[in-house]
Structure 1
Amino acid sequence: MGTLMPATSWALLLATLGSVAGLPLEGEPGCTARHLARYSITFMGKWSQTAFPKQYPLFRPPAQWSSLLGATHSSDYSMWKKNEYVSNGLRDFAERGEAWALMKEIEAAGEKIQSVHGVFSAPAVPTGTGQTSAELEAHARHSLVSFVVRIVPSPDWFVGIDSLDLCEGDRWKDQVSLDLFPYDAGTDSGFTFSSPNFATIPQDTVTEITSSFPSHPANSFYYPRLKSLPPMARVNLVRLPHSSRTFVLPTQDLAGTGNEILDTLSVPQTPLDCEVSLWSSWGLCEGRCGRLGAKSRTRYVRVQPANNGTPCPELEEKADCTPDNCV
């Protein structure tokens, strides 16, 4: 089971709740649901050799899925959109499965314009068919959910959801199930699952990969006899019952007693320790020939600490080195 990671501190969350007053912002889809909603999200890979026999990856590496990374947000934020350019963070995730830059972009959106409510992640699936799951939280101001899962191996291909609204008027949807199909991030020009890195210059927009597009025989998804590709994966979101941890949005009468805010402060708080990824590989050695240089490596936060949990360690490490390729 994945872990819910608040994109903002509890103090910022409470301040946000106090400013919303249960009303959607201008331009929002019109969600007026009063309670916070918690959902389980289950990702099911359907990438089998039977369904996708062409160039099906059997080794180095075999067909598999990256970890799932997503966010609940308002319409002011976009993780990705069809026919638009991806961010640098999503490019890194789609090409190499590196989530650090994308996490920083989501965090920045949550801090600066408060357009992101929470971040969630689910473990990778080591085979083409299998499933992984997590939990997420949404409220009226942030009722949209987006996520991405990288197709491994691939040049820059992924599946995901863009801005699915979990709210209808004043009610939360009980369940949503969607088939997922492959997308090209537009940053790498490879045609096959195992294509070498070949940057797309200039960068292209996100496009859906179909049985006839790209219309090149070398394309791993090129099945000209099919009208459409079979679903490569499926996602199922199920609303969870209310629990003692559920937050309640304040009433529209801000001059009232404010009991709703006080109730959130009395919720039992379980410490959540920070969790970080493994270190990345060392970067290039920077420096002049004949002199001592420096190299660095990084890691990213998988789970943000909360409720006085263990804080995060340093996310960057530097070391001395000797510059390569000196004459």
Structure 2
Amino acid sequence: MTTESLFMCFLLCAFCVGAVRVGKDSCDVDLLVVYKLHVETHWSREVFPKQYPEWRPPAQWSRLVGRSHNSSYSLFRVGRTANDGLKMFSETGQTDGLVERGQGEDGVFDQFNGPSIPTGEGHSETQFFVNGNHTKVSVAMRIVPSPDWFVGLDSLQLCRTGYWVDSLSIQARPLDAGTDSGFTFTAPNWPTEPRQKISYITSQNPSHPANSFYYPEQQELPAIVTFRFYKIKLYQLSKNVNLPLGNNHVLAHNDLVIARQDDISNDVVPSIVRDHQQSRRAGKSKRRPVPCRVTEWSSWSACSVSCGIGEASRSRRVMKLSRRGGRPCPSLAETKWCGEHTDCPQRFFKW
């Protein structure tokens, strides 16, 4: 092997290893993770005796609405005004306005729901998906009856220092959506104009004796809900793809991606490599390089499963190989997630 070949191999291998290393604060994008969410509510006459609703309707909870998402999406945010969807949900429990922000849009990965709880004290369970590009979860449940009060979690991060959280318990306290000015659980509709910012309800705020959560003798309100998250299953996106040509693809070996030299685009090869190549070509023939040409992508294949999470793939083929240092051939196959657990009959997943 010549000195030039050794030099090129060293630089290219170092580049490949560095390019695929996952940052310590991110999780693998090829992993699909299933979490179970267990909700336990603590709204009892013993814990919250003031104006405890016994009938028409008695103390209870709406169904839970949840989203797994990235940083571009928020279901709600303390300190900001509620959008129309959250206003409708916090005042009536209707979710139509929230559902309009559909799956795969606005940074949302999985839309999920949990069953309502017909009593003040109770529990429910649901499941949802996250992946390395959508590592946060937000949930909300309406307090019934109430003017516009709810409990929820905003953008809870489930990927910590490169690892998925195994289990996590969060205690939640009431929130005021800022869209209704009622003080009590059963207050008549009293729209707030303009809307106020979403805020926490505390034992002393709103500071009015009529408020149903006003307990001035307490430093803080007890938790009214506990959210418990459990990681229960992981899916690995398949990396073994059959390609038309054996010399123009990327091979996956655990966490290290090994690429042939011809596969590395001139756009990403370090400038030191380009400079070295150019210096070796100085004075040689000026024949024009020929770039690789490939066909358009095929259509995405059908999802590999009819219910749940599967994979879809598409491919393209080489029409003409590159020559004389022309642009190398790009990837010839792609795989993506498809489907969602909400497409399945109830209790399809049995882990």
Q: Which range, TM-score by smaller chain?
A: 0.5 to 0.7
Structure 2 CA distance for aligned equivalents of residues 249 and 157 of structure 1? 44
| Residue 166 (1) aligns with residue 158 (2) | yes
Tell me the secondary structure at the aligned position of residue 110 of structure 1.
coil
Q: How far did residue 270 of structure 1 move? A: 2.8
Tell me the secondary structure at the aligned position of residue 210 of structure 1.
coil
Q: Larger relative contact order (C-alpha < 8 A, sep ≥ 6)?
A: 1
Q: Which runs of 5+ in 2 are unaligned?
A: 1-19, 241-247, 255-300, 310-339, 346-351
1:123 maps to which residue?
Answer: 115
Structure 2 CA distance for aligned equivalents of residues 72 and 190 of structure 1? 31
| Residue 110 (1) aligns with residue 125 (2) | no
Paired residues of 1:22 and 1:249 also in contact (CA < 8 A): no
Structure 2 CA distance for aligned equivalents of residues 249 and 258 of structure 1? 10
Tell me the secondary structure at the aligned position of residue 240 of structure 1.
strand
1:190 maps to which residue?
Answer: 182
Tell me the secondary structure at the aligned position of residue 241 of structure 1.
strand
Q: Which runs of 5+ in 1 are unaligned?
A: 1-20, 273-302, 310-327
2:280 maps to which residue?
Answer: none
| Residue 31 (1) aligns with residue 59 (2) | no
Paired residues of 2:112 and 2:342 also in contact (CA < 8 A): no
Which amino acid in structure 2 is aligned with residue 32 of structure 1?
A: C
Structure 2 CA distance for aligned equivalents of residues 49 and 217 of structure 1? 18
Tell me the secondary structure at the aligned position of residue 138 of structure 2.
strand
Structure 1 CA distance for aligned equivalents of residues 215 and 28 of structure 2? 44
Which structure: larger Rg?
2
Paired residues of 1:173 and 1:239 also in contact (CA < 8 A): yes
TM-score (norm 2): 0.63
| Residue 58 (1) aligns with residue 54 (2) | yes
Q: Matches of residues 199-218 of structure 1 in structure 2 within 5 Å? A: 199-218=191-210
Paired residues of 2:74 and 2:155 also in contact (CA < 8 A): yes
Paired residues of 1:22 and 1:33 also in contact (CA < 8 A): no
2:73 maps to which residue?
Answer: 77
CA displacement 1:34-73 (0-9 Å, x = unmatched): 4111100011110000000000000000000000000000
Q: How far did residue 31 of structure 1 move? A: 1.9
| Residue 147 (1) aligns with residue 139 (2) | yes
Paired residues of 1:23 and 1:141 also in contact (CA < 8 A): no
CA displacement 1:218-252 (0-9 Å, x = unmatched): 0000000000000001000000033xxx242869x
| Residue 270 (1) aligns with residue 259 (2) | no
Structure 2 CA distance for aligned equivalents of residues 23 and 120 of structure 1? 29
Paired residues of 1:22 and 1:140 also in contact (CA < 8 A): no
CA displacement 1:244-302 (0-9 Å, x = unmatched): xx242869xx9425899xxx988543389xxxxxxxxxxxxxxxxxxxxxxxxxxxxxx
Paired residues of 2:136 and 2:158 also in contact (CA < 8 A): yes
Which amino acid in structure 2 is aligned with residue 187 of structure 1?
A: T
Taking only the aligned residue pairs, the percentage that are identical comes to 38
Paired residues of 2:307 and 2:341 also in contact (CA < 8 A): no
1:256 maps to which residue?
Answer: 250
Which amino acid in structure 2 is aligned with residue 54 of structure 1?
A: K
Paired residues of 1:23 and 1:140 also in contact (CA < 8 A): no
Which amino acid in structure 2 is aligned with residue 47 of structure 1?
A: W
Structure 2 CA distance for aligned equivalents of residues 61 and 215 of structure 1? 26
Tell me the secondary structure at the aligned position of residue 91 of structure 1.
helix
Tell me the secondary structure at the aligned position of residue 89 of structure 2.
helix
Tell me the secondary structure at the aligned position of residue 47 of structure 2.
coil
Question: Using a 3 Å threshold, how does the CA distance of structure 1 residues 219 and 249 change in structure 2: closer, same or farther?
Answer: farther
Which amino acid in structure 2 is aligned with residue 248 of structure 1?
A: L
Tell me the secondary structure at the aligned position of residue 149 of structure 1.
strand
Q: Matches of residues 214-253 of structure 1 in structure 2 within 5 Å? A: 214-242=206-234, 246-248=235-237
Which amino acid in structure 1 is aligned with residue 67 of structure 2?
A: A
Structure 1 CA distance for aligned equivalents of residues 42 and 217 of structure 2? 20
1:180 to 151, 172, 185: 172
TM-score (norm 1): 0.68
2:85 to 80, 83, 89: 89
